[in-house]
Every structure is written in structure tokens, then in C-alpha cells.
Amino acid sequence: EYANYFSRQKNTNIRLTLPVVCFVWQIAMIILFGVFIRYDEESDTHWVETKAHDNITSDIENDFYFRYPSFQDVHVMIFVGFGFLMTFLKRYSFGAVGFNFLIASFGLQWALLMQGWFHSLDPQTGKIFIGVESLINADFCVAGCLIAYGAVLGKVSPVQLLVMTLFGVTLFAVEEYIILNLLHARDAGGSMVIHTFGGYYGLTISWVLYRPNLHQSKRMQGSVYHSDIFAMIGTLFLWMFWPSFNSAITDHGDGQHRAVINTYLCLASTVLTTVAISSLSQKTGKLDMVHIQNSTLAGGVALGTAAEFMISPYGALIVGFFCGIISTMGYIFISPFLEKTLKIQDTCGIHNLHAMPGVIGGIVGAITAAAASESVYGKQGLINTFDFTGDFKDRTVLTQGGYQAAGMCVSIVFGVVGGAIVGSILKLPIWGDPADENCFDDEVYWEVREHPSHSGVQQPHDPQAARPVSPFSMLCLTISQN
């Protein structure tokens, strides 16, 4: 019986697939980088000549100094923020922070190539020139895939995650190209291109990979006291650095400045309404860590598009106000509904933290763009903010609002359709994913040295833990020891 419990019906041996995938893909990256990627003029030693040529008087004009502090904040969000946010499960923290590390490291390389091909391939040389803004964009692209990871956390193998990331980054680059370049929508903080796309991509994959018997790993679901505190590390670094996320690639000067102020205010407002709804949801007004860890961030997501606009400080507060309410109610009402009715098992609740607030963000962005006016922005300010130059110099704000809304739809479509296709690929029985009763358990893919009972996990497959020690056996042991 206990032996049975241990038997894993599924083969989770990834000793062949994982190393092969890692090696093949890393070698492919090296070759492709060799062919395509070069330093841009601000990171090349020829910068000294560029400066002279462009009459740049100071090294501080290098884009590096405008964007590097924001880049590092975004970098922390990707690796510590997303990684630790997902450590909340009692016994899947290695997988959370470790696989997050793996797929982000792969994804950012692939993103530099994909985004390069679509956005900055130099037609003359056939090369992609990268600088600090490329690194930020690569991190952004990876964020979409890490969001999707949140939906399937604990239920997939690292090989599946790498496949999911390969396709995710590819889809991301295409939808981003359509939304930002073809539709010329603005989305500096990625409400649409990152959060909506990533959210629906992950949810659809999770829907395809639905596990009707997931309750068999119920003992591993939920958090323990310490894992909730680890998760707060992720929450706080995401929350604190979100102003950098939304301002990292906005216009120099007032653009970055304003995006920071808006995001800072919006997130503060979200915290208060999250606490309010969380408290309302319990008989004695107790707070739920799940809400505090996640819904407090919804405001940052929802301001991803409009952060650089003149939404005004109180406008930012209002967006945060409603996002805290909606996201927390999502955890209370919508997540159970999704699981029961739509058969979507969403481990981290990314629907409430990314998908829904992302859609809100797209709508807020469309409305704010459509309502923009020269009296508020100034003539040149309006042109700068919406980049009404070149082919788009005659676009009106109303048209812009329409294209923003169209961008929103593109990101949803790409998420759902892409997720359905990729989900089908991941359903193939070759990826080493865990059996239902071994989900959310680090022991499947990690060497875990410690005996788990010390960490507060009830281990039904440990017969000694499942029932009290018989005094007779103890007597025998005692005698045998003395």
C-alpha cells in the first residue's frame, strides 16, 4: 500500500531531455548571436567617434545613464520578484525560484533575437544592435512567460517550461510588433503586450493541461508560515520596483518621471482596497496572505499602458482603487469559478493579478489616449507622448484610442490561440511532467536532503508520520539501543 503510494505512474525522469534541450538551445543561441547580434553605437568602443560626430559633449548622455537604474530594478523584479512570489507553496519553493531562474535566463537570450528581428534589424548590415534598452525589452518579454508559469506552477516539468518559453517569447515578439509597430499603440509598461498576453497564454495552457484528479496532491497545496513570508519578498520587490517597470522605456525626462509618479500612487491605492476587501471576506475580518501577496500588485499592471500619459495623480489613485477591489474579489469568487466551471487550474491566480488587470489597463489606456488634448499635454507634449511622427503624424487622439483598443484584442487573441496550440504540444506524453499526486512537490525534480516532516508538511506516504509510533516498537528500539 505504501509502496503503491510511492509508485509514480508517470515517468518524470528528465535526465536525457533536460540536458539535451539546454545544450541544444544554448548552442543555437551562440550561433545565432554570432550571426546577428552586435553592440549598438553607445556600447561600442567607437562611441568616442560617435560622440564627436554627434556633438555630444558628455558621456552622461549615453542612454546607459538614463536607463540602467530602471533596468536593474526590472531585473530584480524578473528574478527575485517573480521567483519569490511563487515560493508560497509549502514544498515547491525550489521549483518556483529555480525554474523561474532557468526559463528567464533562456528566455532573455531568445527575446533579444526575436525582438531584434522584428524591431531593430538593420536592413543594410542584417545585424541587430543591442544596448541597455534591448536588455530591458528582453526582460519584459520574459515577464510574459513567467506570468504564464504562474498558472501552471507545480504541474509541469522544466522541459515543458522551456518549450513554453520558446513559443511564448516567439509569440510575444510577433504580437508586440503588431501592437506597437503596426497599430502604433502605446504600451510602455506592457498592460497589453506583457500582462494580458502572458495571462491568457498561461491560462489557456493550463486549461488544455487540465488535471481532473489534481486533488490527489492536495496535501502539497497551500502554504506554510515561512513560505508565505518568502513570497512576501517577491511581492515587495515587485511592488517597490513597479514604477521602474512602467517607466523603464518611456521617454527621457518627463516621460520617465511621470510614469514613476503615476505607478507609485496607483500601487499605494491598491494596497488599501485589497486590505479592505480581504478583511471583508472573512467572518472576523482576518486578512488573507494570498490577497496581500498578489492583489496589491494589480494596480501596477493596470497602469502599464497609461503610466506615461497625463492621467493625473488622482486618476492613478482611482485606477488603483478599483484594481485592488477587482483583483481581490477575483481570488475570492472568480478563481473557484474558473476551476470548477471552466476547468482552468490557475495555481498563482494569474487571472486576478495579470489577465484581468491587464485588460483593465488596456481599456484605461484606450480611454486616456482618446481623451488626451492639446490643452492638457501641450502641442509638442502630445506629439511626444503618443509619438505622432512619421507615418502617424496626422493621427488624432480618438483614432489612437481606437488603435489602443485594437491592440488589447490582439494581445488576447495571441494569448488564447497561442496558448491553445502550445498547450496541445505540451500535452504530448514525452515531457516528463509529474503525476497528479506528485504535483507541487519539489522532490520530483530536485534533490531534497531534508526529511520533510520538519517543515510542516503532512507526508501521507511516510507511514511513521501518518500514525503514532507504536510503544512496542519504541520499546524494542530502546532496548536495542541500551
Residue 413 binds a copy of itself (CB under 8 A) = no
- Which residues have CB under 8 Å from 439's CB, separation 6+? 154, 155, 211, 214, 217, 220
| Of 469, 368, 408, the residue nearest 192 (C-alpha) | 408
What is d(CA 365, CA 271) in angstroms, rounded to the nearest whole number?
A: 21
- Which residues have CB under 8 Å from 198's CB, separation 6+? 143, 144, 145, 146, 147, 148, 168, 172, 350, 354, 358, 415
Q: For residues 160-219, which are near a copy of itself according to CB under 8 A?
A: none
Nearer to a copy of itself, 264 or 414 (CB): 264
Residue 371 binds a copy of itself (CB under 8 A) = no
Q: For residues 304-333, which are near a copy of itself according to CB under 8 A?
A: 310, 312-314, 317-318, 321
Region near a copy of itself per CB under 8 A, out of 182-190, 209-217, 373-381, 419-427 = 373-381
**Is residue 449 a contact partner of residue 443, using CB atoms and an 8 Å limit?**
no
Residue keyed to cell 498561461: 202
Each residue 239-278 as x (binds a copy of itself by CB under 8 A) or -, in order, gives xxx-xx-------xxx-xxx-xx--xx-xxx-xxx-xxx-
Region near a copy of itself per CB under 8 A, out of 167-175, 331-339, 358-366, 377-385 = 377-385
Region near a copy of itself per CB under 8 A, out of 17-25, 118-126, 165-173, 346-354 = 17-25
Q: What are phi and psi of 158, to 5 degrees?
A: -60, -30
Residue 388 binds a copy of itself (CB under 8 A) = no
- Residue from 121, 174, 229, 420 that binds a copy of itself (CB under 8 A)? 229
- Three-state secondary structure of 218-240: HHHCCECHHHHHHHHHHHHHHHH
The residue count for binding a copy of itself (CB under 8 A) is: 155
What is the CB-side half-sphere exposure of residue 295 using CA atoms within 13 A?
A: 30
- Residue from 4, 58, 124, 341 that binds a copy of itself (CB under 8 A)? 58
Region near a copy of itself per CB under 8 A, out of 28-36, 203-211, 397-405, 423-431 = 28-36
Residue 117 binds a copy of itself (CB under 8 A) = no
| Of 445, 438, 436, the residue nearest 15 (C-alpha) | 445
- In the complex, minimum distance from the CB of residue 243 to a copy of itself, in angstroms, rounded to a whole number: 8
End-to-end Cα spacing for the chain: 33
Residue 137 binds a copy of itself (CB under 8 A) = no
What's CA 393's distance to the chain center, in Å? 34
- In the complex, minimum distance from the CB of residue 443 to a copy of itself, in angstroms, rounded to a whole number: 8
- Residue from 4, 9, 124, 481 that binds a copy of itself (CB under 8 A)? 481
- In the complex, minimum distance from the CB of residue 99 to a copy of itself, in angstroms, rounded to a whole number: 9
- Rounded to the nearest 5 degrees, what angle is found at the Cα of 231, between the Cα atoms of 230 and 233? 70
- In the complex, minimum distance from the CB of residue 110 to a copy of itself, in angstroms, rounded to a whole number: 10
What is the CB-side half-sphere exposure of residue 288 using CA atoms within 13 A?
A: 19
Q: For residues 59-98, which are near a copy of itself according to CB under 8 A?
A: 59-66, 68-70, 72-73, 75-76, 79-80, 83-84, 87, 90-91, 93-94, 97-98
As given in the structure block, the three cell numbers for residue 399 are: 483614432
Region near a copy of itself per CB under 8 A, out of 340-348, 391-399, 408-416, 473-481 = 473-481
